Amino acid sequence: MTSFGLRVAGVTFLLDFASKWLLLNVVEMPARQFIEITPFFNLRMVWNKGVSFGMFSAESDMGRYMLIAFALIVVAFLVFWLMRVNTRLLAWAIGLVIGGALGNVIDRFLYGAVADFFDFHALGYHFYTFNVADTAISIGVILLILDAFIYGDEAQQKA
C-alpha cells in the first residue's frame, strides 16, 4: 500500500502544482485578481499566509518557516504511517494529505504564502477561497474518518 499512497501523493502534488502554475502564469491571476465564472463560482486571487482557510496567519519569515517545518514534520509522520497501512482507503487518504501538504509547502517556500483561487458562493455566503491542495487535504481527512468507521474495530483487534 505504501507505493500506492505515494503515487496518490505524487499525482495530487502535480495536479496542485499544475493548477497553480496555470492560474498564476497563464491566466495571470495576480494581475487580474478576480474572474467571474458562474453565478456561484469565481476565480479570486488570495495569498494565504496562514494554515488552512487562513487560520494562524504567519506574517513574518520566522512564522512562514515554522509553518513549513511543521508541515514537513506532519508529512514525515504520515509517510511513516503510510508504511504500516494495509487498506487502500487509508493509503488513498494519507496520500491525498501528503500531496496537498507538500503542494502548499512549495508555495510557502517559493512565494511566502499559499496561492488560493477557487471561490464558491451561494445564497449570499462566500466559502473560504481554496486550491487543489486544500481540497485534497480535506478529502483525505474525510477518508481518514471514513476508514476509522469502516475498519476501526478490525484495526483495534489486530493491535
Query: How deeply is 151 buried, as exposed, middle or buried, from its count of CB atoms within 10 A (0-12, 13-18, 19+)?
Result: middle
How many CA atoms, within 13 angstroms, populate the side-chain half-sphere of residue 131? Answer: 34
Q: What is the pLDDT of residue 156?
A: 44
Q: What is the pLDDT of residue 58?
A: 60
CA-atom Rg of the chain in angstroms: 17
Residue 69 structural domain: 2-126+135-158
Has 134 been annotated as catalytic? Answer: yes
The model's pLDDT over 127-157, given as tens digits with 9 standing for 90+, comes to: 889 999 999 999 999 999 999 888 776 654 4
Domain count for the chain: 1
Q: Buried (b) or exposed (e) across 80-96, using 16+ Cβ within 10 A?
A: eebeebeeeebbbbbbb
Cα-flanking dihedrals φ and ψ of residue 92, to 5°? Answer: -60, -50
- Out of 16, 107, 119, 134, which one is annotated catalytic? 134
The answer to whether the beta carbons of residues 123 and 36 sit under 8 Å apart is: no
- Out of 107, 116, 119, 147, which one is annotated catalytic? 116
Residue 84's contacts (CB-CB under 8 Å, 6 or more residues apart) are none
Q: What is the pLDDT of residue 159?
A: 39
Q: What is the pLDDT of residue 61?
A: 78
Write out residues in the chain with pLDDT < 50, as ranges. 53, 55, 156-159
What is the pTM assigned to this prediction?
A: 0.87
In angstroms, the CA 25 to CA 54 distance is 23
Has 153 been annotated as catalytic? Answer: no
